[in-house]
Amino acid sequence: GQQVMQIPQYQHVQEGEDFTTYCNSSTTLSNIQWYKQRPGGHPVFLIQLVKSGEVKKQKRLTFQFGEAKKNSSLHITATQTTDVGTYFCASSSGGYQKVTFGTGTKLQVIP
């Protein structure tokens, strides 16, 4: 099955600094989804990208899908303490859209 790797595994930033997590695959992905999981919580869907080179924004969050559809990034501008959590990328494949999650990037924001 497909494997999706994320880097970095952990990131500590000062509040107000920017943060980026990267998602990489050795195979071409049909789509990429991003989820956020707060400490002690469950994954919450953020966004899905399907087109080559696609860029979407949600307030301070910018999501990008690579031209070759093998990588993706999530960038947070001016982090806030509410951004704390683990960010997962995921991708689906097959007729029934089996979703494979990445390894996740745990973000800690220091006030």
**Where does this chain bind other proteins (CB under 8 A)?**
30-31, 33, 41-45, 48-50, 88, 90, 92, 94-104
- Residue among 62 and 92 whose Cβ is closer to other proteins: 92
- Residue among 50 and 68 whose Cβ is closer to other proteins: 50
Residue whose C-alpha is closest to residue 80's, from 110, 44, 47: 110
DSSP state of 50: -
Considering all CA atoms of the chain, what is the largest pairwise distance in Å, rounded to the nearest integer?
45
Element (H, E) at 100: strand 98-101
| C-alpha span between 15 and 78 (Å, rounded) | 7
CB of 49 to other proteins, least distance (A): 8
CA-based angle 11:88:32, to the nearest 5? 130
CB of 4 to other proteins, least distance (A): 9
- Residue among 77 and 92 whose Cβ is closer to other proteins: 92
- Residue among 5 and 77 whose Cβ is closer to other proteins: 5
CB of 78 to other proteins, least distance (A): 27
CB of 26 to other proteins, least distance (A): 17
Q: How many CB atoms lie within 10 A of CB 17?
A: 14
